[in-house]
Amino acid sequence: MRLALGQIDTTVGDFAGNRERILSAWRRAEEAGADVLLVPELALCGYPPRDLLDRPSFQRDAAALLSELARRSRKTALIAGTFLPNPSETGKPLHNAAVVLREGEVAAVARKCLLPTYDVFDEGRHFEPAREPLLVRLAGTRVGVTICEDLWNDKDFFRTRRLYRDDPGENLVKRGAELIVNVSASPFSEGKPRLRRLMLARLAKDGRVPVAYLNLVGGNDELVFDGSSMVLDARGRVGARCRLFEEDFAVVDVEAGRVRPVAVTVPSDGPDDAGGEPLESLRRALVLGIRDYAVKCGFGTAVVGLSGGIDSALVGALAVDALGAPNVTGLALPSPYSSEGSVADARELARNLGIRFEVVPIGPLFAAAKATLGPLFAGRAEDVAEENVQARLRGLLLMAVSNKFGPLLLTTGNKSELAVGYCTLYGDMAGGLAPISDLPKMRVYALSRHVNARAGRALIPEATLTKPPSAELRPGQTDQDSLPPYELLDAVLEGLIEKGLSVEAAARSAGADPALVASIARQVDRAEYKRRQAAPGLKVSTKAFGSGRRIPIAQRARP
């Protein structure tokens, strides 16, 4: 069988745009003499559609596109993800499906068996699971068709508690599948591409069957999809793969358990990370997430508040990579407590990045705000209230620029700050996208140094990398006046948030005082109301704040 991989970037609800991407890949597959083309899970409507699935117009548009593509099909079969009505009188109204289009009709339908309802996934909200996966004959080959999660339940690979009783991959092997294909929309997180490869290799090797995996690429809201599609032979070896974080197309011949590349853009024995560097994969994921969020939401430009600190510096550098220097503006908004060095560092960063830079002091506004509030605050010393006024004045001005000229305001808070509430609602949290909200502070430093190493020069000024972090909202302030050292804080937060450890276990894991860890855990819970009002962030860890972590605001549970 000659198999083509169409690794495309779809947009939710853009049926016309998704159609063109599918047809373009289909034409290339036909020109290459492919028997079958794979495109991603829910490719017709885009992933994840969420509650758009409830809209009659959305359902009609998906059905119309499916009918058109079915009529268009000829010799090269297309296996494409979409959704279909559930014909049963009971159960959820829809199926997550992969249709096999061939010779002018829908030749077969695969319905997803395993529906994830954890982390960012909530497919049980709309979809009814199938009882078993599809086995269909294509080009003289018995092909098992699965959809994403269907292959994430191998009992030999996942030694911890399994979420499902059934294993669709094993089911297909037992039924005599000669090739297993999987159309997927699997989001990126650090280490995920390698995990997928190992999982697929185990299935291929144990089942002695080639596996073709086609994953979505692109950003949709908080999720970034890395692509990394691949075909493995019956010994679990990668025979061909697609590029990370880019649309790509590949053609392979699969015969007698072997895989022979016909047209590929990257070597099959390449690393799982971009260039073999995890930090480069992280950088590219964030750049793709920013670019697709901006473009798909109708933004061509961005504005960033540049404080002279490491967080805003990294966001500025990522924004330039995503949108281009002419499309990014940096604003410095110094207060009476900002150091001259901070403004100088922000100016140097902007010069290094080649972006427009403006200085808009907030001193006069801050003085006016204090004078206005003076009668109400009489007899009380200045405290966090006045600090937050400064942050909110910056947010006001940045949003005014966004409203007046139309750029997307990128917020600059990191995961460590967001976790413990070291951020100001309607101040530094104001904006449309929070690109680094899933990066702990120490990861921010590591990625910033990688950005400089990749550029071969100090794009991010060395002073920004080495000076003590500070919000500069009062004289002599540093972050460590209010927080533990970031190395310790990040280790504690990793235990509490990403690993889900108890306070005691997180303290042991981080080598921290249990009383300190308990205090941090309480801060994390108390800050939930802030995170609920935060700009959407880009998920790059196994457990990000956002739709994948649902904690009540009004609650009194023990940490």
**Inter-residue contact 546 to 556 (CB < 8 Å):** no
What is the arithmetic mean of pLDDT over 342-348? 96
Host domain of residue 124:
2-272
Output the domain CATH number for residue 158: 3.60.110.10
Tokens (6 digits) for 153: 């339940």
Average pLDDT over the chain, rounded to an integer? 96
- Asked if residue 516 belongs to a domain, the reply is no
**Inter-residue contact 349 to 331 (CB < 8 Å):** no
The verdict on 136 and 198 lying in the same domain is yes
**Position 299, amino acid:** F
With a cut of 80, say whether residue 435 has pLDDT above it. Answer: yes
Output the domain CATH number for residue 363: 3.40.50.620
Q: What local confidence, expressed as pLDDT, does residue 136 receive? A: 98
Q: Which of 457, 479, 501 is the last residue of a domain?
A: 479
The verdict on 246 and 345 lying in the same domain is no
Q: What is the tens place of the pLDDT at every residue in 20-78?
A: 999 999 999 999 999 999 999 999 999 999 999 999 999 999 999 999 999 999 999 99
Distance CA 317, CA 358 (A): 17
Distance CA 319, CA 338 (A): 24
What is the arithmetic mean of pLDDT over 495-524? 96
Distances (CA, A) of 25 to 29, 40, 147, 442: 6, 12, 19, 41
pLDDT band, very low/low/confident/very high, at 469 (cuts 50, 70, 90): confident
Q: Which of 211, 242, 272 is the last residue of a domain?
A: 272
Distances (CA, A) of 549 to 119, 160, 237, 503, 532: 7, 21, 35, 18, 11
The verdict on 170 and 237 lying in the same domain is yes
- Where are the extended beta strands (E) located within 1-93? 2-7, 36-38, 77-85
- Higher per-residue pLDDT: 549 or 474: 549
Tokens (6 digits) for 68: 């058109």
The verdict on 204 and 300 lying in the same domain is no
Distance CA 116, CA 109 (A): 20
Tokens (6 digits) for 299: 């933004």
> SS3 sequence, 370-438?
HHHHHHHHCCCCCCHHHHHHHHHHHHHHHHHHHHHHCCEEECCCCHHHHHHCCCCCCCCCCCCEECCCC
- Asked if residue 410 belongs to a domain, the reply is yes
Helix (H, G, I), strand (E, B) or coil at 188: coil
- Asked if residue 534 belongs to a domain, the reply is no
Q: What local confidence, expressed as pLDDT, does residue 213 receive? A: 98
Is 112 among the catalytic positions?
yes
- Asked if residue 493 belongs to a domain, the reply is no
The verdict on 385 and 248 lying in the same domain is no
With a cut of 80, say whether residue 121 has pLDDT above it. Answer: yes
**Percent of residues, the chain, with pLDDT higher than 70:** 100
**Pick from 304, 312, 353: nearest CA to 458:** 353
Sort strands 408-410 and 302-305 into parallel, antiparallel or unpaired: parallel
Q: What local confidence, expressed as pLDDT, does residue 559 receive? A: 84
Count of C-beta atoms within a 10 Å radius of residue 426: 13
The verdict on 171 and 125 lying in the same domain is yes
With a cut of 90, say whether residue 474 has pLDDT above it. Answer: no
The verdict on 62 and 191 lying in the same domain is yes
With a cut of 80, say whether residue 314 has pLDDT above it. Answer: yes
Marked catalytic residue, from 45, 112, 417, 543? 112
Q: Residue 84's Cα: distance from chain center in Å? A: 26
**Pick from 431, 436, 423: nearest CA to 531:** 423
Tokens (6 digits) for 504: 């005691």
- Asked if residue 519 belongs to a domain, the reply is no
Q: What local confidence, expressed as pLDDT, does residue 216 receive? A: 98
Distance CA 449, CA 181 (A): 40
What is the pTM (predicted TM-score) of this model? 0.96
Is 148 among the catalytic positions?
yes
Q: What is the tens place of the pLDDT at every residue in 258-274?
A: 999 999 999 988 889 98
Summary count for the chain: helices (H), strands (E): 16, 19
The verdict on 39 and 181 lying in the same domain is yes
Distance CA 347, CA 326 (A): 16
The verdict on 190 and 241 lying in the same domain is yes
Tokens (6 digits) for 187: 């989001």
Q: What is the tens place of the pLDDT at every residue in 223-262?
A: 999 999 999 999 999 999 999 999 999 999 999 999 999 9
Helix (H) or strand (E) holding 453, with range, is helix 441-455
What total of structural domains would you count in the chain?
A: 2
- Asked if residue 546 belongs to a domain, the reply is no
Q: What is the tens place of the pLDDT at every residue in 168-212?
A: 999 999 999 999 999 999 999 999 999 999 999 999 999 999 999
Marked catalytic residue, from 113, 123, 128, 148? 148
Query: Which of the given ranges, 150-159, 217-226, 470-479, has the highest pLDDT on average?
Result: 217-226
- DSSP bridge pairs for 254: 259
The verdict on 333 and 241 lying in the same domain is no
Distance CA 212, CA 204 (A): 10
pLDDT band, very low/low/confident/very high, at 548 (cuts 50, 70, 90): very high
What is the arithmetic mean of pLDDT over 486-508? 96
- Asked if residue 548 belongs to a domain, the reply is no
The verdict on 240 and 346 lying in the same domain is no
Count of C-beta atoms within a 10 Å radius of residue 49: 21
Q: What local confidence, expressed as pLDDT, does residue 162 receive? A: 84
Q: How far apart are the first and last CA of the chain?
A: 55
Is 105 among the catalytic positions?
no
The verdict on 317 and 227 lying in the same domain is no
pLDDT band, very low/low/confident/very high, at 388 (cuts 50, 70, 90): very high
- Asked if residue 553 belongs to a domain, the reply is no
With a cut of 90, say whether residue 158 has pLDDT above it. Answer: no
Q: Which of 432, 448, 479 is the last residue of a domain?
A: 479
